């Protein structure tokens, strides 16, 4: 049977067909849907972990117990998981262990444009890179075989175009997976220096074996499509399809294992063509590996920023490109914005009103950066807001702490924010932290977290109580506020930032799309009372629009969720509710 699947659906199907027992992940675009689709298979235990490091450590445990396991993350998530990755490379595995990492060329939803292939070289583990959904499924099977045969975790690299595009996939039944006895091998699994020195030599030997097998064809990967002696192109992943369409006359060596590199096979390919090129997205990873090995590569004037495409590959080889059907620059701009009824908006309005410096974090609340709120001043990585506010506090002897806040969401707090807050408590920080608790992981598509009260499969579970947790951590000043009451938010912010002690403010309203029960009848603007003061438009709510001719605000009632925030800021009794 065949189905049209996205790459992420295909990765999940591969986990099912090839007998994976445990999947633990943290959501991150473009990888999120893999684990969501895995959760639909009852044969696989799946969970949302609190962060990528915890997820990888969980599946390392599953592998040690003798079962096939997989974790999925986006490229920046691999940074969080890098610590256990470096050592599981040394311990090796018992049951097959796969780490699917999805890069985001062009940064559609990421804070940097990281090339995860460097992690394969850094950790000295093999990396496979599929080119479409069929390969996304099949490469899970290959990766598991490689993992168990060579006792290594295996990285499988995706990217936005693979994860979210769809192609035909042939489906099979679930295999009966091998089950290994749990290992209790101190020399293998306890990485004290004496054992690690021995394991390091095993790791280096393993890389040599993998490269040799890929060279000799004992690993049936890295196919050659020979068409011409004039031009030979080495490529991998989705770039293979760009090259195949843009350069149909060229010979192609499609690298399916992008690390370790199959140098001998490439040398044989290079000897058969007059000019050898490497076409790859992001960094010159393969090109530099080949040059370091003494393989001559023709230069291409390619940017290491952004995505490739068929037309971009044609340009690289001096070919004409097709006229676009339309000029995308003519489309109306659609800047990202917080949703109508978002529970974060009222707190950001209060922060902007008080002109506080806000150390922000990764999540929906990053959108508080944009005008008219303009309430975020820094965003670095998951969990950075609280330590950054702590650093500003210590660097200015508390002076900046009286004029600043750290802003973080509930899921990000559980991810890595909790460590930063513990550090502030322990080191007598005096900053003010705001936890915007909307009881869901909003930006990646409403995945549950420890503050939601249910698991990935919707089963009820313990819901973390923020005030009790904060009290147990040693926070003395804890306030809970309604973010839809801007006057209360302003009052509490003034009080807590004035204290020369650590304070934590928690908002307590759910995400409008995770809990639809909070939606109320819409509001409208009474034109007879509207003075045109614009204060309601400064909330940045997509439902509140401005009539330039009449110089008055009006509300798109199809978008309004009845959150009442605009009513709270209107001083002229000009906004009323329907019904």
pLDDT digits (tens, 9 = 90+) for 189-219: 999 999 999 999 999 999 999 998 888 877 7
Mean pLDDT (the chain) is 95
Closest CA to 488 of 568, 560, 564, 410: 568
State residue 579's pLDDT score.
80
The residue behind tokens 């175009």 is 161
Q: DSSP class of residue 369?
A: G
> Does residue 220 have a pLDDT over 80?
no
What is the phi/psi pair of residue 385, to 5°?
-60, -45
Half-sphere exposure of 370 (CA within 13 A, CB side): 15
Instruction: Give the helix/strand (H/E) hosting 253.
Output: strand 251-254
Q: Name the percent of the chain lying above pLDDT 90.
A: 93
State residue 347's pLDDT score.
97
Give the whole-angstrom CA distance, residue 214 versus residue 433.
52
What mean pLDDT is predicted for residues 290-312?
95
List the structure tokens of 130: 């599929």
State residue 414's pLDDT score.
97
State residue 193's pLDDT score.
97
pLDDT band at 312 (very low <50, low <70, confident <90, very high): very high
Bridge partners of 102, per DSSP, are: 74, 158
List the structure tokens of 482: 């309604």
Name the burial class of residue 548, with classes exposed (0-12), middle (13-18) and buried (19+) by CB atoms within 10 angstroms of its CB: exposed
What mean pLDDT is predicted for residues 290-304?
96
Could you count the other beta carbons within 10 Å of the beta carbon of residue 150?
19
SS3 477: strand
Could you count the other beta carbons within 10 Å of the beta carbon of residue 317?
15
State residue 323's pLDDT score.
84
List the structure tokens of 196: 């690690």
- pLDDT tens readout for residues 1-31: 999 999 999 999 999 999 999 999 999 999 9
> Does residue 328 have a pLDDT over 90?
no
Give the whole-angstrom CA distance, residue 103 versus residue 160.
7
CA angle 494, 499, 503 (to 5 degrees): 85
Give the whole-angstrom CA distance, residue 56 versus residue 80.
10
The residue behind tokens 């204290």 is 499
Burial 89-103 (b: 16+ CB within 10 A, else e): bbbbbbbbbbbbbbb
Give the whole-angstrom CA distance, residue 271 versus residue 256.
20
State residue 515's pLDDT score.
87
Could you count the other beta carbons within 10 Å of the beta carbon of residue 114?
21
Alpha helix ranges (H) inside 155-231: 160-164, 186-189, 193-216
What mean pLDDT is predicted for residues 518-533?
94
> Does residue 327 have a pLDDT over 90?
no
Task: Provide the phi-psi class of 453: left if phi over 0, else alpha when psi is between -120 and 50, else beta.
Answer: left
Measured in whole angstroms, the distance separating CA 441 from the mean position of its chain's CA atoms is 12
> Does residue 324 have a pLDDT over 90?
no
What mean pLDDT is predicted for residues 280-309?
96
Half-sphere exposure of 66 (CA within 13 A, CB side): 8
The answer to whether 251 touches 224, Cβ cutoff 8 Å, is yes
What mean pLDDT is predicted for residues 237-264?
96
Helices (H) and strands (E) in the chain, counts: 21, 22
SS3 200: helix
> Does residue 485 have a pLDDT over 90?
yes
SS3 385: helix
Give the whole-angstrom CA distance, residue 223 versus residue 210.
16
Give the whole-angstrom CA distance, residue 446 versus residue 28.
11
Give the whole-angstrom CA distance, residue 62 versus residue 183.
11
State residue 276's pLDDT score.
98
What mean pLDDT is predicted for residues 139-160?
97
State residue 325's pLDDT score.
82
- pLDDT tens readout for residues 92-128: 999 999 999 999 999 988 999 999 999 999 999 999 9
Give the whole-angstrom CA distance, residue 75 versus residue 26.
12
> Does residue 332 have a pLDDT over 90?
no
State residue 5's pLDDT score.
98
Give the whole-angstrom CA distance, residue 446 versus residue 448.
6
- pLDDT tens readout for residues 257-276: 999 999 999 999 999 999 99
Instruction: Give the helix/strand (H/E) hosting 2.
Output: strand 2-6
The answer to whether 281 touches 305, Cβ cutoff 8 Å, is no
The residue behind tokens 């001043």 is 377
Distances (CA, A) of 321 to 251, 252, 282, 312: 21, 21, 21, 8
Gyration radius of the chain over CA positions: 27
Cis peptide before 260 (omega within 30 of 0): yes
Q: Name the percent of the chain lying above pLDDT 70.
A: 100
Give the whole-angstrom CA distance, residue 281 versus residue 535.
46
- Most distant CA atoms of the chain, gap in Å: 82
State residue 453's pLDDT score.
95
Give the whole-angstrom CA distance, residue 176 versus residue 346.
53
Closest CA to 371 of 420, 337, 330, 342: 337
> Does residue 296 have a pLDDT over 80?
yes
pLDDT band at 534 (very low <50, low <70, confident <90, very high): very high
What mean pLDDT is predicted for residues 362-379?
93
List the structure tokens of 467: 């005030």
Give the whole-angstrom CA distance, residue 297 versus residue 288.
9
Q: DSSP class of residue 416?
A: I
Please count the residues of the chain. Answer: 579
DSSP letters, 520-558, are ---EEE-TTT-----TTGGG--TTEEEETTTTEEEE-TT
The residue behind tokens 């000029």 is 327
State residue 322's pLDDT score.
84
- pLDDT tens readout for residues 380-429: 999 999 999 999 999 999 999 999 999 999 999 999 999 999 999 999 99
State residue 336's pLDDT score.
83
List the structure tokens of 354: 């008080």
Closest CA to 269 of 308, 317, 214, 312: 214
State residue 302's pLDDT score.
93
């Amino acid at each position: 049977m065949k189905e049209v699947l996205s790459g992420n659906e295909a990765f999940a199907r591969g986990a099912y067909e090839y007998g994976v027992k445990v999947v633990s992940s943290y959501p991150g675009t473009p990888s999120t849907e893999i684990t969501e689709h895995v959760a639909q298979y009852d044969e696989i235990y799946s969970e949302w972990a609190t962060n990528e490091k915890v997820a990888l450590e969980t599946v390392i445990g599953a592998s040690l117990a003798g079962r096939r396991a997989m974790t999925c993350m986006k490229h920046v998530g691999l940074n969080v998981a890098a610590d256990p990755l470096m050592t599981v490379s040394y311990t090796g595995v018992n049951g097959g262990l796969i780490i699917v990492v999805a890069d985001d060329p062009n940064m559609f939803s990421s804070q940097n444009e990281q090339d995860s292939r460097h992690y394969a070289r850094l950790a000295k583990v093999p990396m496979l890179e599929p080119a479409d959904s069929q390969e996304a499924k099949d490469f899970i099977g290959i990766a598991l075989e490689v993992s168990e045969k060579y006792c290594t975790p295996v990285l499988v690299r995706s990217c936005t175009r693979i994860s979210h595009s769809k192609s035909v996939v042939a489906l099979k039944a679930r295999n009966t997976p091998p089950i290994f006895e749990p290992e209790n091998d101190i020399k293998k699994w306890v990485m004290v220096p004496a054992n690690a020195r021995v394991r390091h030599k095993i790791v280096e030997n393993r890389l040599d074996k993998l490269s040799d097998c890929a060279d000799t064809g004992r690993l049936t990967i890295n196919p050659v499509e020979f068409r011409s002696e004039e031009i030979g192109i080495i490529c991998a992943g989705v770039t293979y399809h760009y090259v195949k369409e843009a350069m149909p006359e060229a010979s192609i060596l499609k690298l399916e294992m992008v690390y370790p590199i199959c140098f001998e096979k490439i040398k044989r390919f290079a000897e058969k063509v007059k000019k050898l090129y490497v076409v790859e997205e992001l960094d010159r990873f393969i090109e530099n590996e080949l040059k370091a090995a003494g393989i001559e590569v023709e230069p291409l004037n390619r940017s290491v920023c952004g995505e490739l495409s068929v037309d971009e590959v044609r340009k690289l080889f001096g070919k004409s490109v097709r006229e676009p059907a339309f000029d995308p620059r003519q489309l109306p701009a659609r800047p990202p914005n917080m949703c109508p009824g978002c529970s974060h908006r009222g707190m950001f309005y209060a922060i902007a009103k008080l002109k506080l410096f806000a150390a922000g974090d990764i999540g929906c609340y990053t959108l508080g950066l944009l005008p008219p709120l303009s309430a975020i001043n820094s965003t670095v990585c998951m969990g950075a807001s609280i330590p950054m506010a702590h650093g500003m506090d210590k660097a200015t002897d508390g002076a900046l702490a009286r004029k600043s806040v750290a802003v973080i969401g509930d899921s990000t707090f559980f991810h890595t924010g909790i460590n930063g807050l513990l550090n502030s408590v322990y080191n007598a920080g005096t900053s003010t932290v705001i936890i915007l608790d909307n009881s869901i992981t909003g930006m990646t598509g409403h995945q549950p977290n420890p503050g939601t009260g249910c698991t990935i499969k919707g089963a009820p579970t313990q819901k973390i109580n923020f005030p009790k947790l904060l009290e147990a951590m040693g926070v003395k000043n804890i306030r809970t506020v309604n973010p839809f009451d801007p006057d209360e938010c302003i009052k509490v912010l003034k009080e807590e930032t004035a204290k020369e002690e650590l304070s934590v403010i928690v908002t307590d309203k759910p995400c409008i799309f995770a809990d639809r029960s909070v939606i109320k009848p819409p509001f409208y603007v009474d034109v007879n009372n509207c003075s045109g003061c614009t204060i309601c438009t400064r909330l940045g709510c997509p439902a509140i629009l401005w009539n330039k001719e009449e110089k008055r605000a009006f509300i798109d009632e199809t978008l309004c969720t009845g959150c009442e925030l605009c009513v709270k800021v209107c001083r002229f009794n000009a906004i009323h509710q329907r019904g």
